[in-house]
């Protein structure tokens, strides 16, 4: 199936069949796709919590209460759920870790190339921290690129998915001790297979027309 057809057919699933599970090998392939997600200057400012058993789902569902309660069944009935988190800050330790991985991956022909990468990446981070003053927002933008890649990948793999932005951030932060880990919760993604109760499966896709959203220069 080509990417355009997948884009036309995929949609946000509203109800899952709790009896159906994604084969583990297929799910591991999705995780590898997630690991390979692109980001600005390859900053990779993310951490992902993988939820694949009932006890873990219950922990995430604690944050789906009150005005967010309608999202709880999506997590509880999903095959797998992923919590996308973003680093609260881009630290020197993270930058060093990235540089060391670049080196291990064979991306530098010599020490000059390595230093150039270090200086360039540090310059971007300093710009967003000191001049733009919104480094956390910039970092979280990268996490949503990873989300987009996973939504498309799930569609290609024939797996239904839901991005969930409605949850109690304070509850999930406390439940997973995210402050101590230097993380903020960004978005939840559920994965699985739609149930017959999924009303959204029967509705036509609605998007703004191209004349409204594209400007050719």
Q: What is the pLDDT of residues 159-187, one digit of tens each?
A: 999 999 999 999 999 999 999 999 999 99
Which residues are registered as beta bridge partners of 46? 86
Q: Total domain count for the chain?
A: 1
Domain of 76, CATH number, reads 3.40.109.10
| CA 12/CA 188 separation, integer angstroms | 13
pTM of the predicted protein model: 0.96
Q: What is the pLDDT of residues 88-101, one digit of tens each?
A: 999 999 999 999 99
Q: What is the pLDDT of residues 66-81, one digit of tens each?
A: 999 999 999 999 999 9
The answer to the question of residue 212 being in a domain is: no
- Check residue 136 and give its pLDDT: 94
- Check residue 181 and give its pLDDT: 98
Which residues are registered as beta bridge partners of 16? 194
The answer to the question of residue 22 being in a domain is: yes
Range of the domain at 82: 3-92+143-203
Helix (H, G, I), strand (E, B) or coil at 54: helix
The gap between the terminal CA atoms of the chain, to the nearest Å, is 32
The answer to the question of residue 152 being in a domain is: yes
- Check residue 156 and give its pLDDT: 97
The answer to the question of residue 114 being in a domain is: no
Q: What size, in residues, is the chain?
A: 217
């Amino acid at each position: 199936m080509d990417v355009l057809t997948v884009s036309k057919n995929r949609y946000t699933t509203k109800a899952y069949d709790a009896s159906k599970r994604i084969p583990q090998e297929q799910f591991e392939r999705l995780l590898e796709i997630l690991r390979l997600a692109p980001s600005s200057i390859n900053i990779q400012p993310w951490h992902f919590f993988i939820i694949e058993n009932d006890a873990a789902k219950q922990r995430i569902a604690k944050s789906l209460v009150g005005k967010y309660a309608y999202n709880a069944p999506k997590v509880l009935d999903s095959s797998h759920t992923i919590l996308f988190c973003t680093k609260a800050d881009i630290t020197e330790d993270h930058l060093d870790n990235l540089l060391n991985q670049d080196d291990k991956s064979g991306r530098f022909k010599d020490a000059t190339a390595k230093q150039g990468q270090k200086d360039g990446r540090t310059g971007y981070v300093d710009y967003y921290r000191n001049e733009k003053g919104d480094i956390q927002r910039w970092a979280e933008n990268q996490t949503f690129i990873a989300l987009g890649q996973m939504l498309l990948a799930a569609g290609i793999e024939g797996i239904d998915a839901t991005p969930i932005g409605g949850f109690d951030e304070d509850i999930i932060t406390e439940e997973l001790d995210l402050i101590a880990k230097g993380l903020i919760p960004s978005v939840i993604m559920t994965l699985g297979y739609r149930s017959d109760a999924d009303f959204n499966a029967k509705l036509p896709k609605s998007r703004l027309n191209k004349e409204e959203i594209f400007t050719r220069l």
